[in-house]
Amino acid sequence: MKLPIAAVGRSIPRLEAHAKVTGHAAYVHNLSVPGMLIAKVFRSTVAHGRIRSIDVTAARAMLGVFAVYTGEDIRKVIAEPYYGPAFHDQPILALDKVRYAGEPVAVVLAVDTHVAEAAAQLISAEYDELPAVFNEVEAMTSTAVVHEVLKPAGTFADLKHLKNKSGTNIALDFHLRRGDVDKAFATADHVFEHNFRTQQVLHLPLEPFATVAIPEGDRKSGTLTLHSSTQSPSFVRIEIARLLGWPENKVRVKVPYLGGGFGAKVYIKSEALAAACAMLARRPVKFATTMEEQFYMITKHATTLRIKSGVTRDGKITARECEVWWNGGAYADIGPRVTQKSGFTAAGPYEIDNVKIDSYALYTNLPAAGALRGFGIPQLVWAYESHTEMIARELKIDPLAIRRTNLLREGRPQATGTLMRDAALGQVLERLATRMQWDKPLDRGTETLRRGRGIAIGFKASISPTTSMAIVNINADGSCHLYSSTVDMGQGSDTAMAQMVSEVIGVPVQKITVVHPDTDVTPYDMATLGSRSTYHMGHAVKNAAEDARDKLFAMARELGLSAETTPIPDVFKKKYGMQAGNIVGVGSFIPPYTSPDANGQTTDATPFWMIGATGAEVEVDIETGEFKVTRLVNLVDVGKAINPAIVETQISGATIMQLGFTLTEQMNFDAGHVTNASLADYKIPGIRDIPPLMENEAVDANQKSGPFGAKGVGESGTFGVSPAIANAIDDAVGVRLTSLPLTAEAVYRGLRNKAGNPLRND
Amino acid sequence: MAPFELAEPHTLSEAIALLNAGDVPVRAIAGGTALMLMMKAGVFQPARLVSLRRVEACHAEITVMPDGGLSIGAMATLSSLARSAAVKQAAPVITQTLKTLSNVRVRNVATIGGHLAHGDPHMDLPPVLTALGAQVRTLSPVGERTRAVADLYTGYYETVLADNELISEVIVPPQSGSLAAYLKITTRAADDWPTLGIAVSLQMEADIVKAARIVVSAATNTPLRLEVAEQTLLGTTLDAVTLLRCGDAAVSSVELAADAHGSAAYKRELLRVYTQRALRQALAVQL
Amino acid sequence: MSATRTIHFTLNGDPVTAQIGTHQHLVEVLQAQGLTGARESCAQGLCGCCTVLVNDVAVSGCLYLAAFADGADVRTIEYAPAGKLDVVQEAFIECGAFQCGYCTPGFILMTRQLLDAHPDPSEDDIRHYLSGNLCRCAAYPEIIKAVKLAAVKRRG
C-alpha cells in the first residue's frame, strides 16, 4: 500500500492556503462567544513605584461595566498570582508595586470594547515613586532593585541556587571557560577589544495577543477552556493549572492559526489575566491587546557587549573574551534561557582554543524582554562579526580570508567542547563567497555615491532538552489525522508535518488532516519556538507515522494480506467486515543533552546547529549619510528542506525582519515610558524597504540525526544581516558603526568625525 | 470611542450652522482619517460630528480656470487629485507629491480641505501649495474669505481657521513658466512621516531666476518660507556656487527641532543638501 | 439625533440592515455580520489588514465610520461571486505570497485595485501601490511575484 509519492522535499502549497486567501482562516482575535465580556487593562504610568492607592470607583459605576478588578481581587481565585517560565515573578495584575511603565494594574470587564476602554480611562492610581534603573550595565550595580527577592520557577534545576536571593538585579549569570585567555592574550601578536550595543525592539505580529477564557461549572469542580494565540499550548495548560491549583485535565487550551508569533507568544502571555478574569466573573472573557499594548507585553533584549580577541599576525584567533549584559526588563520571562543558551556560542563559529564568556540576565524597569527569532543570537552575531571584520581591516586581511582561517570545521570542538556535527559552516561561507563574487572587484560607485560590500556568518545551538509527542490516526478509508501541539503561526508546520506523514504512510497530503493544538486532544509539545519543531516534532511525527504504518502492516499480515500492496480500506474491511475501526500510532522524541558544567563545558550542547550567513552590498550618499542596501544574499544550512518553497519564504522573511531590527526599528523611551508605541512611529519594514536584489539559498546539506535529514529553519536567516550591512558601510566609506540601529545620521556623523569636523549634538 | 451625534447636512452652509454648538466639542468630518486617529487615541471626544460627505457635489470638483489656474473643491479626495489630468497639467508637482503621500486607502477618502485644515506640519501639500502661491476660500457664518495657504498655520496643529470656518475651495494660480519640486525626506522607513519636507518654485526668464519660493516643513512647527534663501537665487542662473550659498542661507534662516527622526544638527545638514537638490530637480523638470 | 442608528447597505451582494453606534467603525460592524476577513491590526490605517471596498473604492475599515456605509455597496475578501478563487488569489497561492495569512486579505484586495488601475504594473508601481500594507512575516518578494503573475493571468 505504500506508494512512492515522495511527499518530502516537494514545494506543495500550504494546506491552509485557500482559507488564508479567502479570509476564512481562524484566529483568536476574531473569536467571539455568547455572553463574552471584553477585558481592557489600566496600566502603570510610572516605571518603578509602590502602589499607594487605586481608585476604580468611577469605572465601576459606568453603565455597561460588569466588573473592575485589581491585583488583590485576583488573589480570591489565585492565591499566589505570579507566573513565568523561568521565574514566578510576574503578577497577573501589579501587587504592592509596579516595575515598569505600562504594567497592568487593573482590568475592566464590559460587554462592549468601547465601554471597557472608556471605563479603563476613568481608573486612577497613586504611587510612591522609587528610583528606577533602565540600563543593563548599570543594573549590575544599581541600588535600585527591581525584585526584592528572586523567585526561580523550579522547573529548571540550574536556577535553584537563585531562590530567595535578594538585593540583586542579576536574574542569571552564565560563565564559560575554555583554555586560558589571559595567557593567550599575553602571548598574542595583537589584542583587539571593542564594545557594541543593540537596541530594544519587539515582535509585533499583526495579530496581537488574544485569549478567550471560558469557565464551565463552579470554581471547585469546574473546568476552564482557553482559546489562545499561543505558541505553547502545553505550557499554558501546565502554568494555568499550577496557578489555579488544579490538575492539568481541568484546563483545556485550544489554538487555531496564529497571525504571526516570532517568539512573542511563547510560554504564557495574555492567558493568565484572561483566566483569572473568567474565574472571577464566571463568564467567558476575551483579553485581546491592541497593537499599542504589544509594546508593554514582550520585547527583545537590548544588549551591551564587550568582546576582546588575541590574534596572530596572520589572522588566527587564539583567544576570545566576551561579556554580554542582557536587558531583561521588569520580568524574567525566558530571558535567563536566552542568556545561557546564547552564551554557548557568544564567541562565534570559530575554532578558538582559549575562550571566556560571561553572560548576565539583568532586571530593569522596562517592558520585559524574551525570545525573538534567534534567542539572543542576532545580538551576539552583531558583535562578533563586526569585531571579526574590524580585526581583518586592522590587519589588512581580506574579510573572507580571516573567516576561512578561523572557521570551525566538522568534528572540531566548539567553545562548549561539543563537537560540530552536520554543521555546513564551510559550505555556507563558500556559497556566500561565490554568490557575492567575492573574488571579483566591486564597482565602487561615484564621488558622492560610494559602494561597498560586507559579509557575516553566525550559528546557533538549538534549545535543549525538549520533548515532543505526536499521534497519527489512520482511518478505515485510508485518510489520516495527525494530532500535534505544534502551532502553525505562518511557518508552514502543518504542511511540513503532513508531508512527513504522507511520506511514511504513503497517503497523499490531501487526505491528511492536521488537528490543531487542543490540549484535551493533541499530546504534549514543549512549544513552537527556537526553530525546534521540524526537528523535534518532526521526529515525533515520523515515529508516530511509522508506528501507525507498522501496526497497519502487522494487521494486514495477520489477515493474510500483502502489507505492501493491499489498499488501506481493504485491510480495514477485511478486519472489521465494513468501513470501521482505526489505527493509532504514537511517537515521542527527546534528544540527548548533557547540562554544561561550571565552566560551561558539555559533550552534548545541542542536537543540531543552525547556520546562517548574509552578504550585503550598499550604496552610501556621502553628502547626507543616507544609504541603501542594494543587494542582500542569504545562505543557510537547514539540512534537507521538507518543503523548499516554504523554506525559502522563511529565510527571506527572517532576513527582512532582521533588516528592520538593523535599520528602522527601535523602541524609544523617556524615563521608562515608551514614546513610539504605534506602527506610525515604530517602523517595521514595508514593501518599499526591501532591497531590490534579494537572493536566498539553503545549501545542499543533510542533518543525519534529523527527520528526513531536516532541521530548524525559522531563525537562521536573521543571523548575519546586521553585521553584514555594517561591514558593507565600513567597506564603502570607512565608517564603523557599533550600535544598532544603523541610521543615516550615524553614518553622516561618522563621516564628519573622519573629516575632523564633528557634527554638533543639538 | 464613545457615541456622539452625527449630523449629515446636505449643504455646506447647513454644515457651518451645525458647527455652532456652544461649549461642547464639535468638528467637521470629511474623509475622517486624521480625525478617527485622534478619536481612537482618546485625544478628541466629540459631542457632535458634522459630516461633509453629503454636501453639494460641486465641492469635490477640480477645474482649470480660464487663466490656467486650478480650482479644487475642498471635498476633492487626494486620489481624485492624483488621477486628475487637469492637476497634472497645471501643477505637476502636486501629482508628484501625491505619489508618496500616505497610502492609497487614505488618499481614497482624505480630502484636500481636511488635509489643509488639520494643521499637522508633517503634511505634504501645505508646503507645496505655499510654494505655488495657492489660496483657500473659506466659509463661516461671517461670510466668505480668501486666505493664502502660507497664512493658514500659526503653530503645531494650530491654524487661523475659526471653529465654524470651513475651507471650501483651493485655488492654485497659473504656473506657466514656473518650475517646482517637492522632496520628502524620510530617515527611518521609506514610508514614514517626513523628517523634512522641502518645496521650491521658481519663475525663470531665459536662464535667470526672477522669483523663487522655498518652503520647509516637518522639521518646523508650521510650513515656513525661507525668504533669505530665496533672495540668494534672484538674478542668478542657479550655478553651483549659488546653490551652495542658497543651502547655507536656508540653514541659517530657520530653527529646526530635534525629534525621533533626527537631531537638529543633522536636519540642518539635510536641509542644506536637499534645498540644493530640490532646486536642481525643479530645473530638470520639462515644462 | 441619536447615537445609534439603523443603516442599510449591500454586503457582498446581499442587502443588510444593521443597528450601529455612531462611534463604531466599519470593521466592527462587518464582524458583527459574521465576517472575519477584514481585521483591525495597527488601528491606524497603515497595515491594510482592515481593507474593505466601499462602492468599489478601497478604504481602511478601521478608520471608516460604519455610519458612512449607509446606502453603500460594501465588499470584503469574502465576496466570491464566481464561487471560486480569482486570479489574484491563485497567484498568491502559487507564489507562496503569505505566511501567517493575517494581512493576506488586505493585500489581495489592494492587488485587485492595483491591477484595475495598472493592468501591467512595473515593480515601482507595485511597491508604491502596496506601500500601505504591511506584512510582518515579510513575504514581500513573494507578493511582488504574485502581483506580476496575477497581471499576466488577468491579461492572459
Identify which of C147, C83, C80 has the alpha carbon closest to the alpha carbon of residue C119. C147
Distance CA A285, CA A13 (A): 36
Q: Quick one: A57 exposed, middle or buried, by C-beta within 10 A (0-12, 13-18, 19+)?
A: exposed
Dig out the grid coordinates for B26 from the structure: 464639535
Q: How far, in Å, are A3, A241, A376, A715, C20 from residue A633 at the CA level?
A: 38, 46, 22, 16, 51
Identify which of A101, A102, A119 has the alpha carbon closest to the alpha carbon of residue A110. A119
Mutual orientation of helices B264-284 and B240-252 as an angle, nearest 10°? 140
Same domain, C41 and C71: yes
Same domain, C109 and C87: yes
The 8-class DSSP code of residue C111 comes to H
Q: Domain end: B118, B137, B172, which one? A: B172
Residues with pLDDT less than 70, chain A: 1-5
- Could you give the 3-state DSSP secondary structure of residue A389? helix
Closest CB from B49, B99, B105 relative to C51:
B105
Q: Provide the domain count of chain B.
A: 3
Residue B262 to residue A749, Cβ atoms within 8 A? no
Distance CA A209, CA A288 (A): 6
pLDDT tier at C55 (50, 70, 90 boundaries)?
A: very high
Closest CB from A19, A646, A688 relative to C96:
A646
pLDDT at position B177, please? Answer: 84
Residues of B in contact with A121 (CB under 8 A): 42
Bridge pairing between strands B48-51 and B5-7: parallel
Contact assessment for residue A165 and residue A145, using Cβ atoms and an 8 Å cutoff:
no
Q: Quick one: A499 exposed, middle or buried, by C-beta within 10 A (0-12, 13-18, 19+)?
A: buried
Same domain, B186 and B156: no
In this structure, the dihedral spanned by the alpha carbons of residues C9, C10, C15 and C18, taken in order and rounded to 10 degrees, is: -40
pLDDT at position A4, please? Answer: 53
In the predicted model, what is the mean pLDDT of chain B?
96
Q: Which tens digit of pLDDT belongs to each residue from B72-88?
A: 999 999 999 999 999 99
Distance from CA of A293 to the nearest CA of B (A): 12
For C16, list phi and psi in degrees, rounded to 5.
-135, 140
CA dihedral over A367, A370, A375, A376, signed as positive or negative: positive
The 8-class DSSP code of residue B60 comes to G
Mutual orientation of helices A721-733 and A744-754 as an angle, nearest 10°? 40
Residue C22 to residue B108, Cβ atoms within 8 A? no
Q: Domain end: B147, B172, B197, which one? A: B172
Same domain, C48 and C87: no
Q: How far, in Å, are A602, A705, B102, B115 from residue B125 at the CA level?
A: 64, 61, 11, 8
The 8-class DSSP code of residue A154 comes to S
Distance CA B128, CA B253 (A): 19
Closest CB from A664, A675, A745 relative to B266:
A745
Residues of B in contact with A760 (CB under 8 A): 265
**Which residue range forms the structural domain that includes residue B123?**
57-172
Under the phi-then-psi rule, with left for phi > 0, alpha for psi from -120 to 50, and beta for the rest, what region is B120?
beta
Residue C5 to residue B6, Cβ atoms within 8 A? yes
Contact assessment for residue A411 and residue A355, using Cβ atoms and an 8 Å cutoff:
no
Residue C23 to residue B191, Cβ atoms within 8 A? no
Q: How far, in Å, are C34, C102, C146 from residue C38 at the CA level?
A: 11, 9, 21
Q: Which tens digit of pLDDT belongs to each residue from B139-180?
A: 999 999 999 999 999 999 999 999 999 999 999 999 988 999
Same domain, C87 and C142: yes
Q: Which tens digit of pLDDT belongs to each residue from B187-246?
A: 999 999 999 999 999 999 989 999 999 999 999 999 999 999 999 999 999 999 999 999
Identify which of C74, C98, C101 has the alpha carbon closest to the alpha carbon of residue A29. C101
Same domain, C86 and C150: yes
Distance CA C142, CA C110 (A): 15
Contact assessment for residue B98 and residue B78, using Cβ atoms and an 8 Å cutoff:
yes
Q: Annotated active-site positions of A, please?
A: 715
Dig out the grid coordinates for A432 from the structure: 556566500
Distance from CA of A567 to the nearest CA of C (A): 32
Contact assessment for residue A23 and residue C37, using Cβ atoms and an 8 Å cutoff:
yes
What is the CATH number for B242?
3.30.390.50
Whether a cis peptide bond, with omega within 30° of 0, leads into A508 is: no
Q: Domain end: C75, C107, C126, which one? A: C75
Question: For cell 519594514, what's the residue?
Answer: A685
Contacts of A656 (CB under 8 A, 6+ apart): A685, A690, C138, C140
- Could you give the 3-state DSSP secondary structure of residue A173? strand
Identify which of A614, A299, A594 has the alpha carbon closest to the alpha carbon of residue A459. A614
**What is the number of helices (H) and of strands (E) in chain C?**
5, 5
Residue C131 to residue B191, Cβ atoms within 8 A? yes
Distance CA B111, CA B119 (A): 14
Same domain, B63 and B165: yes
Question: How confident is the model over B280-286, as a mean pLDDT?
Answer: 86
What is the CATH number for C10?
3.10.20.30
What is the CATH number for B167?
3.30.465.10
Residue B190 to residue C45, Cβ atoms within 8 A? no
Same domain, C60 and C95: no
Q: A671 pairs with which residues across the strands?
A: none
Closest CB from B3, B51, B106 relative to C45:
B106
Contacts of A663 (CB under 8 A, 6+ apart): A629, A685, A689, A725, A741, A742, A743
Helix runs in A144-257, H state only: 181-187, 233-244
Q: Which of C4, C35, C41 to mutate to test the interface with A (most CBs of A within 10 A)?
A: C41
Identify which of C1, C2, C109 has the alpha carbon closest to the alpha carbon of residue C48. C109
Neighbors of chain A with 3 or more C-beta pairs under 8 Å: B, C
pLDDT at position B66, please? Answer: 95
Same domain, B75 and B139: yes
Residues of B in contact with A749 (CB under 8 A): 266
Residue A649 to residue C23, Cβ atoms within 8 A? no
Distance of CA A729 to the CA centre of its chain: 28
CB atoms within 10 A of CB A564: 10
Residues of B with CB under 8 A from a CB of C: 1-7, 29, 32-33, 36-37, 39-40, 49, 51, 53, 79, 99-100, 102-106, 108-109, 190-191
Q: Provide the domain count of chain C.
A: 2
pLDDT at position A155, please? Answer: 76
Distance CA A315, CA A305 (A): 22
Does the CB of A758 have a partner CB in chain B at under 8 Å?
Answer: no
Residue in A with minimal Cα distance to C83? A22
- Amino acid letter for position A145: V
Distance CA A532, CA A526 (A): 9
**Which residue range forms the structural domain that includes residue C58?**
4-75
Q: How far, in Å, are A56, A66, A74, A684 from residue A62 at the CA level?
A: 10, 9, 21, 38
Q: How far, in Å, are A680, C99, C130 from residue C108 at the CA level?
A: 23, 14, 10
Closest CB from B3, B7, B37 relative to C23:
B3
Same domain, C12 and C63: yes
Q: Which residue segments constitute the domains of chain A, with CATH numbers given?
A: 17-25+466-589 (3.30.365.10), 31-132+205-290 (3.90.1170.50), 378-462+608-754 (3.30.365.10)
Same domain, B161 and B87: yes
Q: Which of B187, B251, B275 to mutate to test the interface with A (most CBs of A within 10 A)?
A: B187
pTM: 0.97
Distance CA B162, CA B138 (A): 10
Closest CB from B191, B192, B263 relative to A745:
B263
Same domain, C91 and C57: no
Distance from CA of B108 to the nearest CA of C (A): 7
Same domain, B83 and B164: yes
Contacts of B270 (CB under 8 A, 6+ apart): A624, B185, B187, B195, B196, B262
Q: Domain end: B154, B172, B190, which one? A: B172
Q: Which of A22, A29, A493, A690 to mutate to test the interface with C (most CBs of C within 10 A)?
A: A22
Same domain, C151 and C85: yes
Dig out the grid coordinates for A125 from the structure: 492610581
Residue C45 to residue B37, Cβ atoms within 8 A? yes
A to C CB pairs, distance under 8 Å: 158
Identify which of A649, A685, A716 has the alpha carbon closest to the alpha carbon of residue A345. A716
Same domain, C20 and C44: yes
Distance from CA of A649 to the nearest CA of C (A): 7
Dig out the grid coordinates for B133 from the structure: 502661491
Same domain, C115 and C71: no
Dig out the grid coordinates for A603 from the structure: 559533550
Distance from CA of A738 to the nearest CA of B (A): 18
In this structure, the dihedral spanned by the alpha carbons of residues B97, B100, B106 and B109, taken in order and rounded to 10 degrees, is: 30
Q: Which of B266, B267, B269, B271 to mutate to test the interface with A (most CBs of A within 10 A)?
A: B266
Residues of B in contact with C2 (CB under 8 A): 5
Contact assessment for residue A162 and residue A328, using Cβ atoms and an 8 Å cutoff:
no
Closest CB from A118, A626, A761 relative to B263:
A761
Contact assessment for residue B148 and residue B129, using Cβ atoms and an 8 Å cutoff:
no
Helix runs in chain B, H state only: 12-18, 33-40, 78-83, 85-90, 92-99, 104-109, 112-117, 125-131, 227-231, 240-252, 264-284
- Could you give the 3-state DSSP secondary structure of residue B277? helix
Contact assessment for residue B76 and residue B107, using Cβ atoms and an 8 Å cutoff:
no
pLDDT at residue B287 tops 50: no
Residue in A with minimal Cα distance to B257? A762
- Could you give the 3-state DSSP secondary structure of residue A579? coil
For B122, list phi and psi in degrees, rounded to 5.
-90, -5
Distance CA B17, CA A171 (A): 64
Q: How many residues does chain B have?
A: 287
Does the CB of A681 have a partner CB in chain B at under 8 Å?
Answer: yes
pLDDT at position A162, please? Answer: 84
Contact assessment for residue A188 and residue A311, using Cβ atoms and an 8 Å cutoff:
yes
Same domain, C100 and C143: yes
